[in-house]
Amino acid sequence: MAGLMAALVLTGTLYSALSPAHATEEAIQSESSAEAAGRELYERSCITCHGENLEGVPTRGPSLIGAGEAAVYFQVHTGRMPLVRQEAQAPDKPAIFNDEEIDQLMAYIQANGGGPTLPSGDLRDGDLAEGGELFRLNCAQCHNFVGEGGALSSGKRAPSLEDANDLEIYSAMLSGPENMPIFGDNQLTPEEKRSIINYIQTVKEQADPGGAGIGRIGPVAEGVVIWVVGVAALLFGIFWMGSKA
């Protein structure tokens, strides 16, 4: 994994070093320092698959024009990007870049490609019950009732929301990463998005009143428990009862 990563990074660096100058002098001069730092990071780690002008590389990576900082935040903060290898779906993993670097990347992509921007303020400032209703209508079909995640076709999956923070959920709705549909602000208003986040995070954090939650995935786990715990305990019991003292 680490080796592959190194190879990718190296390829990116070589590529950027050997490629001809790709932006005009004026553009570079008008960049803020954050954007410049972001450009450097981009040219080191992203350019192989997304191209020198964010236009994407066929069969490797999509165009980032219009992706905006929301997509960058989601993809990089959840560790999905930079990609280690091409597979059915980018797996989440510990983030490669720190928060400052992510900010720089976001600034660069936003300045050059445009697209949805990140929200500010309290992302849980919404109605809990309404958020639940919207979650069940728009999200639960893939992410399960309580965000445990679920399987999609051919090895793809809707990830568990167990470790997702508010901003990741928000930016995922805005940018529609990979197979997830996009929920633009005219479809789910910012208030509605905040309601949904409030619901997910509240339910995730609330204790289970009825004892161990066994994954909160319903009948499959319950079936396992009744056989492995219930029936097994009772079989042991009657075996003990039947044995001679």
Partner 1 sequence: MSAPHTTPGSTGGSETPGPLHGGPDEEYTPERLATMTREELDLLGARYDGVQVLHVDPAPEPGSRVEKAAVRQVAMTFALAGLSAFAAFVVYAGSGWFLPDWQWDITEGGWSALFTPLIGGLGGLALTLVGVGMVLFTKKLLPHETAVQDKHDGSHFDRVTTGASLMGGLNTYGLARRKLITRSLVFMGGGVGLMLLMPLGGLIRNPNVGNPLGTTSWTEGMRLLRGDGSPIRPGDQQPGSLETVFPAVPGGNLESDAATMLIRLRPEQVSLERPREGQDDFGYGDYVAYSKICTHAGCPVSLYEQETSRILCPCHQSQFDVTQGAKPVFGPATRPLPQLPITVDDEGFFVARSDYIEAVGPTYWNRERI
Partner 2 sequence: MARTATAPGVPTTPLGKAALEIDDRLIVAGPLRRTLNKVFPDHWSFLLGEIALYSFVILLLSGTYLTFYYDAAMTEVVYEGTYAPMRGLEMTAAYESTLKLSFDVRGGLFIRQLHHWAALLFVAAIVVHLLRIFFTGAFRRPRETNWLIGVALLVLSFAMGFTGYSLPDDLLSGTGLRIVSAIILSIPVVGTWVHWAVFDGDYVGEEILGRMYIVHVLIVPAILLGLIAVHLLMLVKQKHTQFPGPGRTEHNVVGNRLFPAFAVKAGGLFFIVFGVCAALGGLVQINPVWLWGPYNPAQVSAASQPDWYVMFLDGSTRLFPAWDINLPGNYTIPALFWPTVVLPGIIFTLLAAYPVIERKLTRDEASHHLLQRPRDVPVRTSLGMMALAFYIVLMFSGGNDVIAEKFDISLNAMTWAGRIGLVIVPPIVYLLTYRICLGLQKHDREVLEHGLETGVIRRLPHGEFIEVHQPLGPVDEHGHGQLAYGGAPVPKRMNQVGGARRAIRGFFSPIEEPARVELEQRRDEHGLSAAESRELTTSGRPSDGGRPQEPRD
Nearest to 166 by CA among 120, 233, 225, 106: 120
Judged by CB under 8 A, how many residues of this single chain contact partner 1? Answer: 34
- C-alpha distances (whole Å) from 45 to each of 6, 214, 216, 217 are 10, 40, 38, 38
From CA 161, how far away is CA 159, in angstroms rounded? 6
151 and 144 Cβ atoms separated by less than 8 Å: no
Cα-to-chain-centroid distance, residue 59: 21
From candidates 3, 20, 58, 209, binder to partner 2 by CB under 8 A: 209
Q: Using the rule CB under 8 A, give the single segment among 22-30, 46-54, 57-65, 201-209 that binds partner 2.
A: 201-209
Token pair of 48, please?
């192989």
From candidates 1, 93, 133, 179, binder to partner 2 by CB under 8 A: 133
From CA 48, how far away is CA 25, in angstroms rounded? 22
Given partner 2, partner 1, none, residue 4, with its beta carbon under 5 to 8 Å by kind, binds: none
Given partner 1, partner 2, none, residue 22, with its beta carbon under 5 to 8 Å by kind, binds: none
219 near partner 1 (CB under 8 A): no
Give, as ranges, the residues between 132 and 171 that touch partner 1 (CB under 8 A). 133-134, 137-138, 141-142, 150, 152-154, 156, 158
- C-alpha distances (whole Å) from 141 to each of 151, 157, 241 are 10, 12, 47
From candidates 41, 107, 109, 158, binder to partner 2 by CB under 8 A: 158
From CA 72, how far away is CA 135, in angstroms rounded? 24
Given partner 2, partner 1, none, residue 148, with its beta carbon under 5 to 8 Å by kind, binds: partner 2
Q: CB-wise, 104 or 195, nearer to partner 2? A: 195
228 near partner 2 (CB under 8 A): no
* DSSP SS3 for 3: helix
Question: What 8-state DSSP symbol labels residue 21?
Answer: P
Residue 22 in marked binding region: no
From CA 239, how far away is CA 29, in angstroms rounded? 82
Task: Please report how close the Cβ of residue 152 comes to partner 1 at its closest, in angstroms.
Answer: 6
214 near partner 2 (CB under 8 A): yes
* Residues 68, 73, 74: CA angle, nearest 5 degrees: 105
Residues that bind partner 1 (CB under 8 A): 133-134, 137-138, 141-142, 150, 152-154, 156, 158, 176, 178-184, 186-187, 202, 206-211, 237, 240-241, 244-245
Residues that bind partner 2 (CB under 8 A): 88, 127-133, 136-137, 140-146, 148-155, 157-158, 199, 202-203, 208-214, 216-220, 222-223, 225-227, 229-231, 233-235, 237-239, 241-243
